[in-house]
Amino acid sequence: MLLTLKGMAIFSRSSAFARVTAIAAQRPVHAAFAWMHNNPKTLIDLQTELVAIPAPPFGEQARSEWAAARFKEIGLDRVQVDAIGNVLGFVPAADLPADSTGHLIVVSAHIDTVFPAGTPLKAVLSREDGANRLAAPGVCDNAAGVIGMLALAQALIHAKVKLPVPILMLANVGEEGEGDLRGVRHFYEERALAGRVAAHIVLDGAGADAAVAQALGSRRFQITVRGPGGHSFTDSGTPNPIVALANAVATLARTPVPEKPTTTLNIGTVQGGTSVNSVPESASASVDFRSTSADELLRLEVALHRAVEDAVEQTNAAARYSNHRNRGVVTFTIDKIGDRPAAQLAADSPILEALRAVDRHLGIQTDLRLGSTDANIPIALGIPALSMGAGGDGSGAHTLAEWFTDKDREIGLRRVMLLTLTLAEWAAEQ
């Protein structure tokens, strides 16, 4: 896929750094930093409240309502919940009318979790190393991101930081697993707003030393092979869906994948059959392909179709020769159950230049990573975007043992704020 990145090489290294330094020296920005410094307990209390609200994939409504209430409480402008549950609210620009249609910066955080309904979610708060420690499923991924977004919004509004373009806060649904990025995908399908996005910062999880700037694409498929089935003895010779599927999977598993661009292939689940003495009526498997290259994903998809088609054909052909009482054939379906676009930011993308300058200002060394996040969607559209932590530390994402500490949350929040403000200045000049 060819990418057209807007406004490449916006500032030379030194001017990006000078710009960040100038922003950080503004009096209202100091006041915003001070708000973040003085309110760790407010943020921990909000985080405790948020993690207690269940948000399984496709069940985020209670969290949408919570986020909309917080957006209104903070004083965000034009708070709205869209058709699929994304919550939007604006921090307006200083000298622009509310209905201006120019550039804006998006800061988003996903509100869904991987945990099914019924998972015990109550957070346990303790003190550790002079910081607050919270243990609860979803406390980092992505309560940390959502709280970071709320902190940014509240600090900007509280300190009356003058913005050259509006900042759109987006609490989105559907990032995890089968959600398949549907929240951010839906946002970018709404042309009127999407066309105004100059840059997009995704806040996901804790930490302040990494950013995901290469969108690892993925495609997931469910393969199902069906046949007439029958008795293992009296219907012997009937084409067998398990045999066809097993052959297809074996062929697929032998498909070579390159190390560069990073590409992986996984057969994740296999199901099928009725009993040991039955010819099965169906068998299915799910597969997951990942790559930074859209071409590689396409190549694997073609390999999958070929492997299944060939295996089904061979199974039917063998049955025809072996069985005089041919009872039918096996057929297959391949359903796409996930599709996240692959894309890479250019090394001189403005968002990376701005982040490098911010990190230099804060004395942080950023590790650029590869991942599959909400940022995949804007990156694939050619919009400068990345996913980063919202400060603090923690681990155990996607497990019941997940924990978070707000030690060093402050520097993470400063990093997010300086990046947002630097990009806002740049966006105003485009």
**For binding to Zn ion (CB under 5 A), which residues are involved?**
141-142, 204
Minimum Å gap between C-beta 126 and Zn ion is: 24
Minimum Å gap between C-beta 138 and Zn ion is: 9
Backbone angles phi, psi at 230, to 5 degrees: 155, -170
Which of residues 141 and 359 has its CB atom nearest to Zn ion in the complex?
A: 141
Angle CA 39–43–49, to nearest 5? 145
Minimum Å gap between C-beta 205 and Zn ion is: 6
Minimum Å gap between C-beta 184 and Zn ion is: 12
What is the C-alpha separation between 280 and 260, in angstroms, rounded?
40
Which of residues 7 and 396 has its CB atom nearest to Zn ion in the complex?
A: 396
What is the C-alpha separation between 170 and 145, in angstroms, rounded?
11
Which of residues 244 and 375 has its CB atom nearest to Zn ion in the complex?
A: 375
How many beta carbons lie within 10 A of that of residue 273, not counting itself?
Answer: 15
The owner of tokens 């940014």 is 152
Which of residues 373 and 422 has its CB atom nearest to Zn ion in the complex?
A: 373
Angle CA 55–58–61, to nearest 5? 55
Which of residues 204 and 353 has its CB atom nearest to Zn ion in the complex?
A: 204
Minimum Å gap between C-beta 43 and Zn ion is: 18
Minimum Å gap between C-beta 54 and Zn ion is: 16
Minimum Å gap between C-beta 149 and Zn ion is: 13
Helix H or strand E segment including 27: helix 27-38
Taken in order 153, 158, 161, 164, the sign of the CA dihedral is positive
Beta strands 210-215 and 367-371, pairing class: parallel
Would you state the structure tokens that stand for residue 413, as one six-digit string?
């929040």
What is the C-alpha separation between 82 and 255, in angstroms, rounded?
42
Which of residues 142 and 286 has its CB atom nearest to Zn ion in the complex?
A: 142
Tell me the residue type at 255: T
> Contact, 209 vs 366, CB < 8 A?
yes
Residue 261: asked if its preceding bond is cis (omega within 30°), the reply is yes
Which of residues 204 and 296 has its CB atom nearest to Zn ion in the complex?
A: 204
Minimum Å gap between C-beta 418 and Zn ion is: 22
Minimum Å gap between C-beta 109 and Zn ion is: 8
Beta bridge pairs of residue 367? 210
What is the C-alpha separation between 423 and 415, in angstroms, rounded?
12
Backbone angles phi, psi at 358, to 5 degrees: -60, -45
Which of residues 141 and 410 has its CB atom nearest to Zn ion in the complex?
A: 141
Q: What is the DSSP string of 303-364?
A: HHHHHHHHHHHHHHHHHHHH-TT-----EEEEEEEEEE--EE--TT-HHHHHHHHHHHHHT-
